[in-house]
Amino acid sequence: MKGELFTCRVYRKLISTCRWSERPLLEEALRIIKCNSPGVYIIKLPTGYGKTGLVFAHAFSSLVGECSFSTVYASPLRSLADDVYNRWIGIASKIIGVSTEQVSGLQHMGVSGSVYLNKPIVFTTLDTLSLHVFKNPPAEIKKTLKGERGHYEVSRGALADATIFLDEPHLAMSDEAMLKALLALISFLEYIGSTVVLITATLPRKLEDIVTRSIKYLRGRLSYGEGSFVDKEFEEQQASKLIVTKVYSKFLTSIANEKVRKMKGGRTIIVFNSRKRAVEAYSSIRKSSDEVYLLHGFMIRKEREIVEECLRKRARKRKDFVLIATQVIEAGFDISAEWLLTEAASASSLVQRAGRVARWKGDYRGLVEIYLPPSPKPYNNEEVIRALELIKRYKVSWRNAVITNGALSYIDFIEKASVIPEISMGEVQYLRRMIKDPLRGWVTLFKKVVEGKLLRSSRIIPVYVEGRIEDGEALADFFILKSMLKEGGIIGYVAKEEERIGPHHARDATGVVETLLKNPLEGFVLMLRKKVDGILIEERTYCRWAYGEQ
């Protein structure tokens, strides 16, 4: 009881210090999450409700010894982990008055702020967290390939007395390989005595039931809209926003440029389901419109951060912009737009995208336009069709959980439209046994990850731009690597934070990519043997793939 009351006091302090809106249900959630009673908790709250406040309140409580030994935040999106970490740095530097790097760190591919997850406060991705639990800390992959035990029990031990927040985990669950990994991850964390909190706005009940079946006991649960768990003031605020939804039987790629020209200003977000279509639209729209921005996964870190900060500033000042993006803006990207044009996607993704419209206090009107995608990928075709059919049949309230006028609440929309991937619980149990064994299985688990049978089925490789490695890496899937190989844009590789350029190094890098495409496991072994941390490409190659520049 002491820990829960302290985190509530910390949260109230954060409200006054950061001038946050009061959210009484966050205090209720903080009372439910008991650090002295480890286990799995599910907290479901609407988009824009400020769920990250739960993480920050627990983080400060950990630092003063009133809660778990440490607090770990894990996101399915690298961009979301970066954003929450940067927000934490800004808040913590004002409050604790010491170097925040001493007590907290950002850890994922390309950033090593807490190599073994053993700082008091850690921000990471679900992929990175899973690799530690699966006995393969990214810093020790070389030992795995040599058949040697690494120091994975250091990071696993650090997790044993931690409060671990898994933010919007459902965004990774549509992938069968990731769903298996996530269920095994949660089960293991429960087994070692961690306090695991799934915080989400759009977790379907069907998926929640699968999570519950994979663990021994659900310690606590709060679901917005059920019973008395509703913030009436928040509901009234959301109900006061007029968000009109329209569905078109056209491709967004063919109409986006014309729509932007007719709009003549405003804060606009255009979301495509693929990087390629987003880049093509950006190349066209920026020729005829000012203040056009682009965000997708294949952008180097520094450029992405600059774009995000610029957009936040323009949005806060209510200045015009056009943002063309992919799924990277679906969660955690705190921005408020007037107009959303989006390709049809899963119900959860559409709710997240609509959550960027009229998001802030003072924004009362918005327009959501939904268009047919040329292909359902990366979503399941059935879930895209279901979502479209429901939107055409009902008026969907993108913000309200309690509806009395015959419309669909966003919760009902998600429940009716969601399609859950088929999964063998027997395979999850097999993974769980392998993960629990302290001495065996690390090589087998790594092979499953590399082969796309565990974690994400689509593998990604770090790519750096010549002369700009300090700006961070972009993440390339195998399709991009294959295309770059054909173009001849690979000029070398990066090792120990240094560029390796020249005919010999270019041949080595090309050989690595060719091997990766033929046999991913052999390719990773070759990367480690040649000490390749990432593939190096020319500036013009990067600009073509990231921005469509010829």
- Give the model's pLDDT for residue 2: 60
Tokens of 93: 């530097």
Q: Which residue has the higher pLDDT, 527 or 537?
A: 537
Rounded to an integer, the average pLDDT of 516-532 is 87
Rounded to an integer, the average pLDDT of 219-227 is 90
Q: Which residue has the higher pLDDT, 247 or 174?
A: 247
For residues 348 and 376, state if they share a domain. yes
In 330-377, where does DSSP find H-type helix?
A: 347-354
- Give the model's pLDDT for residue 187: 94
For residues 42 and 90, state if they share a domain. yes
pLDDT band at 80 (very low <50, low <70, confident <90, very high): confident
For residues 74 and 44, state if they share a domain. yes
For residues 413 and 463, state if they share a domain. no
Contacts of 66 (CB under 8 A, 6+ apart): 2, 3, 6, 7
For residues 309 and 335, state if they share a domain. yes
Q: How many CA atoms lie within 13 A of 166 on its CB side?
A: 25
pLDDT band at 101 (very low <50, low <70, confident <90, very high): confident
For residues 396 and 493, state if they share a domain. no
> What are φ and ψ of residue 200, in 5° steps?
-160, 155
- Give the model's pLDDT for residue 330: 86
For residues 404 and 516, state if they share a domain. no
Whether 450 maps to a domain, the answer reads no
Q: For position 15, which CATH number holds? A: 3.40.50.300
pLDDT band at 470 (very low <50, low <70, confident <90, very high): very high
For residues 189 and 239, state if they share a domain. no
Q: Which residue has the higher pLDDT, 3 or 542?
A: 542
Whether 453 maps to a domain, the answer reads no
For residues 275 and 382, state if they share a domain. yes
Packing angle of the helix pair 275-285, 539-547 (nearest 10 deg): 90
- Give the model's pLDDT for residue 442: 82
Rg value, the chain, Cα: 23
Rounded to an integer, the average pLDDT of 133-160 is 84
Rounded to an integer, the average pLDDT of 317-338 is 89
Whether 428 maps to a domain, the answer reads no
Rounded to an integer, the average pLDDT of 421-435 is 85
Rounded to an integer, the average pLDDT of 455-463 is 77
Q: How many structural domains does the chain have?
A: 3
- Give the model's pLDDT for residue 3: 61
Question: Per residue in 392-417, pLDDT tens?
Answer: 999 999 988 877 677 898 999 999 99
pLDDT band at 6 (very low <50, low <70, confident <90, very high): confident
Average pLDDT, the chain: 89
Of 269, 232, 235, which Cα lies nearest the Cα of 397? 235
Contacts of 269 (CB under 8 A, 6+ apart): 323, 325, 329, 335, 337, 339, 340, 341, 342, 353, 356, 357
pLDDT band at 477 (very low <50, low <70, confident <90, very high): confident
Whether 378 maps to a domain, the answer reads yes
Beta-sheet pairing, 339-343 with 365-372: parallel
The arrangement of strands across the sheet holding 534-537 comes to 474-477, 460-465, 534-537, 490-495, 498-501
Burial of 5-29, coded b for 16+ CB within 10 Å and e otherwise, reads: ebbbebbeebbeeeeeeebebbbeb
HEC string for 389-438:
HHHHHCCEECCCCCCCCCCEEHHHHHHHHCCCCCCCHHHHHHHHHHHHCC
Answer whether residue 220 shows pLDDT above 70: yes
Answer whether residue 177 shows pLDDT above 90: no
Beta-sheet pairing, 39-44 with 195-200: parallel
For residues 253 and 279, state if they share a domain. yes
Q: In the chain, pLDDT over 70 holds for what percent of residues?
A: 98
Asked which of 223, 252, 283 is the last residue of a domain, the reply is 223
- The whole domain housing 506 covers 459-547
Whether 55 maps to a domain, the answer reads yes
- Give the model's pLDDT for residue 262: 77
Q: Which of 106-115, 124-133, 240-249, 381-390 has the lowest mean pLDDT?
A: 106-115
Please report, as a single letter, which amino acid is at residue 268.
T
pLDDT band at 98 (very low <50, low <70, confident <90, very high): low
For residues 183 and 275, state if they share a domain. no
- Give the model's pLDDT for residue 174: 67
For residues 42 and 108, state if they share a domain. yes
pLDDT band at 439 (very low <50, low <70, confident <90, very high): confident
Q: Which residue has the higher pLDDT, 31 or 420?
A: 31
Answer whether residue 522 shows pLDDT above 90: no
Asked which of 385, 401, 417 is the last residue of a domain, the reply is 417
Rounded to an integer, the average pLDDT of 220-227 is 90
Whether 438 maps to a domain, the answer reads no
Asked which of 168, 188, 223 is the last residue of a domain, the reply is 223
Whether 138 maps to a domain, the answer reads yes
Whether 441 maps to a domain, the answer reads no
pLDDT band at 457 (very low <50, low <70, confident <90, very high): low
Element housing 53 (H / E):
helix 52-63
- Give the model's pLDDT for residue 10: 92
